[in-house]
Amino acid sequence: MDNNPSSAPGKVPELIRWDDERMTTGIAEIDAQHRELIAKINELYRVHQIGATADDIRHILKFLGEFVKQHFQFEEGLMEARKCPMRQTNCSAHARFLQEYQELVSVFSLEQDVDETASEIERMAARWLATHICRVDIGLREPPQE
C-alpha cells in the first residue's frame, strides 16, 4: 500500500518540490522567495488539474508574473552587491524567462481552450525555476568577492 500523501485519491501531486540540498542558497530571503514561487507554481498546477476556471488561473498567473519581477529585481541587486560571478548569466536568464512567460500568458488570454496553454506555462515555469535555482542562483552560496 502506498502511504505517500501526494498519491492519495483526489490529491494532486506537486509539480515541483523544494530540495534543500540542491536549492538552498544560504540567503534566507532568497530561499523564502524561491519557496513561495514553487508553492505558487504548484497551486497553479493544482487548481488547473481540479478544473479551475480560466479566471482563477489568470489570477494566479498575474500574481506569479508580478512576484517574479520583484524577486528578479531583488536577486539581481543582491548578486550585484555581492559581486556574484553568476550575475550576468542570471540577468540574461531572467530576461529570457520573463519574455517567454509573458508570451505564454498572452496566448493564454487569447485562447478559447486554455488547458494546453496552462499546462505549457506550468511545465515551463517548473522546469525553468528548478534548473535556474540549481545552476545559477546557488552561485549566491559563494562568499562575496572583494
Domain boundaries, the chain: 28-141
CATH of domain 28-141: 1.20.120.50
Record the cell numbers describing residue 135, joined without a space: 545552476
CB count in 10 Å sphere of residue 31:
18
* pLDDT value at residue 7: 44
Which residue in the block uniquely carries the three cell numbers 506537486? Answer: 14
Cα 46 from Cα 116, distance rounded (Å):
15
* pLDDT value at residue 112: 65
Confidence of residue 115 (pLDDT cuts 50, 70, 90): confident
Confidence of residue 20 (pLDDT cuts 50, 70, 90): very high
